[in-house]
Structures are given as structure tokens and as C-alpha cells.
Amino acid sequence: MIQRTSALRSLLGPLRVPSLSSKISEYNWYTSQAASSLQEVIIPCASSLSGDDEYADVDWDNLGFGLTRADYMFIMKCFKDESFQKGQISPYGNIELNPSAGVLNYGQGLFEGTKAQRTEDGRILLFRPEQNAMRMKRGAERMCMPSPSIDQFVNAVKETTLANKPWVPPPGKGSLYIRPLLIGSGPILGLGPAPEYTFLIYASPVGNYFKEGTAPLNLYIEEEVVRASPGGAGGVKSITNYAPVLKAITKAKGRGFSDVLYLDAVNKKYIEEVSSCNIFVIKGNLISTPATNGTVLDGITQKSIIEIARDHGYQVEERRIPVDELIDADEAFCTGTAVGVAPVGSITYQNKRIEFKREGQLVWQELYSTLVGIQTGRIEDKKGWTMEIN
């Protein structure tokens, strides 16, 4: 079956669609050429579409945070010292990389993460994608890479989402996670910025990030492995920040914890963040979160929750939080695009387990409900955070 979607047609203009017999060979050709400049777009068999073609054939009730490959990706290239011009939507598939690509040898790469949500009345909303664009720009500067302009980034996110519309889960079942990448794709042997760069976006429908679902997380404070140090790249979404913490995560998970909370590298005294999310601590009316001063990623969810909490009358402080303060906290929670807002039930530090409130009226729930309400169109967006794309 050859599937053309009206959204794609309006997006891409006239399409060249292969005959059934030529489909497979053309698709193979296409994926092997995906990284080169493309003039035509071939839409392969969308066998995964369900009967009414409105939704892909996915078990929406059992989505976790695994890769369910949506049909299309966006790809755009440019040379060092030049700027990105125009990208293409193409079928999701492997990309070719030279073995001496900068990203493979020296980790010259950034990623981003944003989500599209379907509203009850069938609209599709993005959440603050220009913030991801700006963060990628800051990261690219740090990693000596050219980056797409804010408009190019946001338009590419829109195009990727529209192309993958059947993969945006039904309301209440999850979201389409959109993953932009910026990599040094050109070959380089000696250490230096790569001669060519690729900006790519793929997408996957997702449900809860943690296997705990919305149950409270049990975090482990790591004292040996550090995530980021002053002057490093902890404050940007460099791919090099993630593999080095796998060891600590694996150890913590092996002991039954949900994830790791890292301390500052210099004093090992202040809490910084979790492997892929920011952390908040609540005491009475005061909500505190570690300041994003170069070693902590400036989360878009963190920023949004700070604003919502202030709107709700809480005092919010972005500051250094000594680990000893955790003992007195009422509640703790994590924030991130993938994670959403996740309550923390306990934090274990030096073999002592600090427990937080899990029942009754919980502040994290109040903030979460407002954030998700805005993201899914249930609450009027007075802040201009959402972007309707259909």
C-alpha cells in the first residue's frame, strides 16, 4: 500500500511515488542516500497505518519510552563556516557516516528533545520549541558547530511532526517525542571541528519515561561519578554528557533505585541534577531548584515550572542546595521533557534513605496538572507557550 497523507502533500508539493514493484529497491536507495542532498521525496509503504488511517497501528495503551520509529525524519546539511540552507523530509532510515566523522571520533554532537501532544478536540500542539532552538544554538557555540536558525529549527520540528501525524498518540495516551540532533558528520582525523554538519530530526510516540510510571522515584546520590564540572559542557545538551553517567545509572538501577542524583564536582556538597532531568525541593511555601550556572542543564520544563509555581503563589529560589537540606524537605520532584514532572519518594545518601511526603495534598501534583493542562490544551495557554501546527 502506498500512503500519501494530505499533510505531507501540502508540505512537500508534488511527490514522486514509486510503483509497488519498485518500492522496495527505491526505498533502499533512498535510505542509503538519506544523508545526501535530495531533490525528490518518495513515500514508502506506510504499512503501519491502522484501518482509518488517522492513527498508526500502535498499542497506545502500552507505550513506554522506547523507540517506535515514526515514518519520517528531517535532514539538513551544511559545511563548516557556512550556514544551513534548506532541509528535506525523508523516510526514517539509516544514515551513512564516514568512519572518521567528527561525531564518531570526538563526540562533536548535540541533541534536543521536545514533544507534540494531541488535544481532546484533535489539534496538535508543540511546547516552546523555540526554547529548544535557542538551547541548541548555545550548545553549538560551545561545541564549535554551525546551528540552524531559530526559524529553521522550529519549522523543521513542525514539518517532522506534520509528516508523522498518525504517530501522535490519542489524547491522554502519550505524546510524540521529537529528537533533533546536530552532529559533526564530516571526516576529520586530527582533533578539530568537523568540515561538515548534519541537522536531523526523528520522532517516536512515547509514554512514561520511568518504569515507575507516575509512582514516586527512589533516587541515589552518587559520590564518585560526576556528571559535569565547571568549565565543562554540563550546561548544554552535548551527547558527551550522557555515556559517562551510564555506569552510575547501571549501578543504581542494579540496587533497585530509579535513577541517580549527582553532586557538584568541586565540593561534592550541593545537589545538581538527575541523569536526564532537573530536580526541585519543597519546604513549606518555598520551592528550590539548583541554579543553572554551567554545570546544570537549563531545562525548559524547569523554567516553565518555576513560572507556574510563582503564578500559584509559591516562593521559588534558583540557588545552590546543600545535600544536607534534603533531610528537612517536604517534597521533591524531577522535571524534563521526557520525564514530565515526576515525584521523588526517597533519596538515598551515604546509606541513609530520606523519605518525602507521598500522600495528601501534594505541591508537585498541582504544578504538574497546570503544566500538562497547558501542554495538552485543557487549560488556556495565556503564556504563548504552545504552538498549534495543524
Ligand X SMILES: Cc1ncc(COP(=O)(O)O)c(C=O)c1O
* Site residues (vs ligand X, CB under 6 A): 113, 273, 276-278, 297, 299-302, 335-337
Residue owning grid cell 538515598: 348
C-beta of 185 vs 304, nearer to ligand X: 304
**Cβ 106 to ligand X, closest distance in Å?**
20
Choose between 89 and 305: whose C-beta lies nearer to ligand X.
305
Q: Which amino acid is at 152?
A: Q
Q: Can you tell me the distance from the alpha carbon of 117 to that of 127, in angstroms, rounded to the nearest whole number?
A: 8
137 is catalytic: no
Q: Are strands 340-349 and 278-283 parallel, antiparallel or unpaired?
A: unpaired
Give, for 103, the enclosing helix (H) or strand (E): helix 102-106
Point out the catalytic residue in the list 23, 173, 237, 352: 237
Q: How far is the CB of 220 from ligand X (least distance, A)?
A: 16
Read out DSSP for 266-319?
Answer: TTS-EEEEETTBEEEEEETTEEEEE--SSSS---HHHHHHHHHHHHTT-EEEEE
What single letter denotes the amino acid at residue 109?
A: G
Cβ 173 to ligand X, closest distance in Å? 20
**With respect to ligand X, which residue has the nearer C-beta, 88 or 302?**
302
Beta carbon nearer to ligand X, 51 or 231: 231
Rounded alpha-carbon distances, angstroms, from residue 64 to 58, 61, 196, 211, 216: 12, 9, 35, 8, 17
What pairing do the DSSP bridges indicate for beta strands 114-118 and 175-184?
antiparallel
Cβ atoms of residues 234 and 252 within 8 Å: no
By beta-carbon proximity to ligand X, the closer residue of 297 and 354 is 297
Tell which residue, 136, 182, 176, 178, has the closest CA to residue 157. Answer: 178
Work out how close the CB of 280 gets to ligand X at its nearest, in angstroms, rounded to a whole number. 12
Nearer to ligand X (CB atom), residue 90 or residue 114: 114
Q: Count the alpha carbons within 13 Å of 47 in the hemisphere toward its beta carbon.
A: 4
Q: Which of 322, 366, 372 lies closest to 125, judged by CA?
A: 372
- Judge whether 239 and 110 are in contact, CB under 8 Å: yes
Smallest distance, ligand X to C-beta of residue 72, A = 23
Nearer to ligand X, 77 or 137 (CB): 137
Instruction: Tell me the closest approach of the beta carbon of residue 135 to ligand X, in angstroms.
Output: 7
Min CB(181)–ligand X separation in Å: 13
Q: Residue 221: how many CB atoms within 10 A of its CB?
A: 20
By CB atoms closer than 10 A (0-12, 13-18, 19+), residue 348 is: middle
Cell 514539518 found at: 159
Catalytic (active-site) positions: 237
